């Protein structure tokens, strides 16, 4: 596929993240107005709620709420119909141009909000390099756990602390115990980290007790966002046995502001890597389940005028696809909801410049790295801003996600 041209001229360049090929869904407000659904096109947002109310889209009255869940619940046929109509309205030479133009808002004037109501959040551990690195750091061996090549390992996370990009994240307090300490202590995490992930958004759910195939799961996924699974490694390290992550993962998960549809990503499908062990048949699917999406992690200390690039990798580095994860999630009887968010797991490539967490980049703080400002880091310090970026690059066009960013605030003193 090549660049599709729009009458919104800023959308017609090879490197713009929001060409007509993309049309990602967000929620925005201007001034004191209530948040509403909009679609990004070039430097602008088409106010979908107002355009629908004015009779321009002609799709149904589902946009009187500030989230995209109602469209998500309608299923893939409706997703395609709606997207095709938006494409028609915004295409170069469209007969709808004059009618739609009054409903464009400059992104520069808009504040972005959560694009969906997140019903549930599950986080996986599906990057082989990340899992091997964590094994080497924590257990002294890069060998994968015995189940890892057979199961998309995951845990049930918290939807309550999933926030939109730009939301400050408070350094958590928690219980931890250093390896050489006799007793645990309570206080601010000293090993605050990020995890570079993709978030898959479940559009249509399935009933409790109703297994789904990988191919069915693929069709249930509405779109993708960038996801930063903020992690307190010292809290996590003390609490995680035997039931897995808890407080060390529950204080904040940031997502990028625009839902990039699975349809926009269709030309970028990429295969999962060759299986080191054959998967059980229920995890077989017929489609390539990953996507060729370039990813980058950046860190900007307080007062610095620009960020330092820490890592560049690709979503296609993962071992398990979101569809395989969703199938595995539901196959044992767990109902899945529209608005379910699935974190991919940390995405790391084979070399240190592709590591998607600071734990790996600094090897648990043992090998601090240097920022462009000359400062060194093992983990995140107060005032640091961490940013994730993603882009799929087609023939003369780019599918962008919008930055997924967050700044760390100092821990609250507790008990006061
Ligand atoms: Ca994670």
**What pLDDT, in 10s, does the model give residues 289-311?**
999 999 999 999 999 999 999 99
At 355-388, the pLDDT tens digits run 999 999 999 999 999 999 999 999 999 999 999 9
Give per-residue pLDDT as tens, 221-238. Answer: 999 999 999 999 999 999
Residue 325 to residue 331: CA distance in whole angstroms: 10
pLDDT category, 354, cuts 50, 70, 90?
Answer: very high
For residue 101, how far is its CA from the centre of ligand 1 (angstroms)? 41
Three-state secondary structure call for residue 60 = coil
Find the catalytic residue in 16, 130, 328, 329.
130
Question: What value does the mean pLDDT take over residues 408-416?
Answer: 93
pLDDT tens digits, 257-282: 999 999 999 999 999 999 999 999 99
Q: Mean of the per-residue pLDDT values for the chain?
A: 97
**167-204 pLDDT per residue, tens:** 999 999 999 999 899 999 999 999 999 999 999 999 99
Q: Which domains does the chain have, with CATH numbers?
A: 9-113 (2.30.30.230), 121-409 (3.90.850.10)
Taken in order 11, 15, 21, 22, the sign of the CA dihedral is negative
Q: Could you read off the pLDDT of 80-114 as tens digits, one per residue?
A: 999 999 999 999 999 999 999 999 999 999 999 99
Residue 115: alpha-carbon gap to chain centroid: 12
Nearest one of 22, 69, 345 to 202, comparing CA atoms: 69
CA of 194 to the centre of ligand 1 (A): 9
Residue 113 catalytic? no
Give the integer Cα–Cα distance in Å for 5 and 347: 33
For residue 416, what pLDDT band results from cuts at 50, 70 and 90? confident
- The pair of structure tokens assigned to 105 is 């808002």
**pTM exceeding the 0.95 threshold for the entire prediction:** yes
- Measured CA to CA, the distance from residue 230 to residue 130 in angstroms comes to 15
* 117 CA from centroid of ligand 1 (Å): 20
């Amino acid at each position: 596929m090549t660049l599709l041209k729009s009458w919104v001229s800023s959308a017609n360049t090879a490197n713009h993240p929001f060409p007509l090929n993309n049309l990602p869904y967000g929620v925005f407000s201007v001034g004191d107005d209530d948040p509403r659904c909009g679609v990004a096109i070039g430097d602008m947002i088409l106010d979908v709620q107002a355009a629908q109310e004015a009779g321009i889209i002609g799709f149904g009255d589902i946009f009187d709420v500030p989230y995209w869940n109602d469209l998500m619940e309608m299923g893939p046929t409706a997703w395609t119909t709606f997207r095709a109509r938006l494409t028609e309205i915004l295409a170069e030479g469209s007969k709808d141009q004059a009618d739609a133009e009054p409903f464009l808002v400059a992104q520069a004037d808009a504040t972005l909000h959560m694009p969906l109501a997140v019903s549930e959040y599950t986080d996986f551990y599906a990057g082989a390099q990340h899992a091997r690195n964590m094994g080497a750091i924590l257990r002294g061996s890069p060998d994968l756990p015995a189940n890892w090549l057979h199961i998309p390992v995951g845990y049930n996370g918290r939807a309550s602390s999933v926030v939109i990009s730009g939301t400050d994240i408070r350094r958590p307090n928690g219980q931890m115990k250093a390896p050489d300490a006799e007793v645990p202590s309570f206080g601010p995490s000293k090993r605050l980290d990020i995890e570079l992930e993709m978030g898959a958004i479940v559009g249509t759910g399935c009933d409790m007790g109703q297994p789904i195939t990988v191919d069915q799961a693929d069709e249930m996924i509405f779109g993708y966002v960038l996801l930063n699974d903020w992690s307190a490694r010292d809290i996590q390290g003390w609490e995680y046995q035997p039931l897995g992550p808890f407080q060390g993962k529950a204080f904040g998960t940031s997502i990028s502001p625009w839902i990039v549809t699975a349809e926009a990503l269709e030309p970028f499908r990429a295969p999962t890597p060759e299986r080191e062990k054959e998967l059980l048949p229920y995890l077989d699917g017929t489609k390539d389940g990953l996507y060729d999406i370039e990813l980058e992690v950046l860190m900007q200390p307080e007062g610095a005028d620009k960020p330092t690039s820490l890592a560049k990798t690709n979503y296609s580095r993962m071992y398990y696809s979101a569809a395989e994860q969703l199938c595995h999630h539901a196959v044992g009887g767990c109902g899945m909801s529209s608005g379910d968010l699935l974190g991919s797991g940390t995405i790391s490539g084979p070399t240190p410049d592709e590591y998607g967490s600071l734990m790996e980049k600094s090897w648990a703080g043992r090998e601090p790295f240097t920022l462009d400002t000359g400062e060194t880091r093992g983990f995140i310090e107060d005032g640091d801003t961490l940013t994730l970026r993603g882009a799929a690059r087609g023939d003369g066009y780019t599918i962008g996600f919008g930055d997924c960013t967050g700044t760390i605030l100092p821990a609250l003193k507790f008990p006061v």
